[in-house]
A and B are shown apart, each in its own frame.
Chain A
Amino acid sequence: AQKITQTQPGMFVQEKEAVTLDCTYDTSDPSYGLFWYKQPSSGEMIFLIYQGSYDQQNATEGRYSLNFQKARKSANLVISASQLGDSAMYFCAMREGTGGSEKLVFGKGTKLTVNP
Chain B
Amino acid sequence: EAGVAQSPRYKIIEKRQSVAFWCNPISGHATLYWYQQILGQGPKLLIQFQNNGVVDDSQLPKDRFSAERLKGVDSTLKIQPAKLEDSAVYLCASSLRLAANNEQFFGPGTRLTVL
Binding partners A and B = yes
Which A residues fall within an 8 A CB radius of B? 4, 31, 33, 35, 37, 42-47, 50, 52, 91, 93, 95, 97, 100-109
Chain B residue at smallest Cβ distance from A59: B101
Could you say which of A44, A52, A100, A105 contacts B55, with CB atoms under 8 Å apart? A100
Chain A residue at smallest Cβ distance from B108: A44
B62 interfacial by beta-carbon distance below 8 Å: no
Which B residues fall within an 8 A CB radius of A? 33, 40-45, 48, 50, 55-56, 89, 91, 93, 98-109, 111
Inter-chain contact B45/A45, CB cutoff 8 Å: no
Which among A45, A97, A106 has the highest number of chain B CB atoms within 10 Å? A45
CB distance from B36 to the nearest CB of A (A): 11
Complex Cα gap A105–B48 (Å):
13
Chain B residue at smallest Cβ distance from A98: B100
Between A and B, 5 residue pairs with Cβ closer than 8 Å are: A46-B106, A47-B104, A101-B98, A103-B45, A108-B40
Complex Cα gap A45–B40 (Å):
14
CB distance from A7 to the nearest CB of B (A): 14
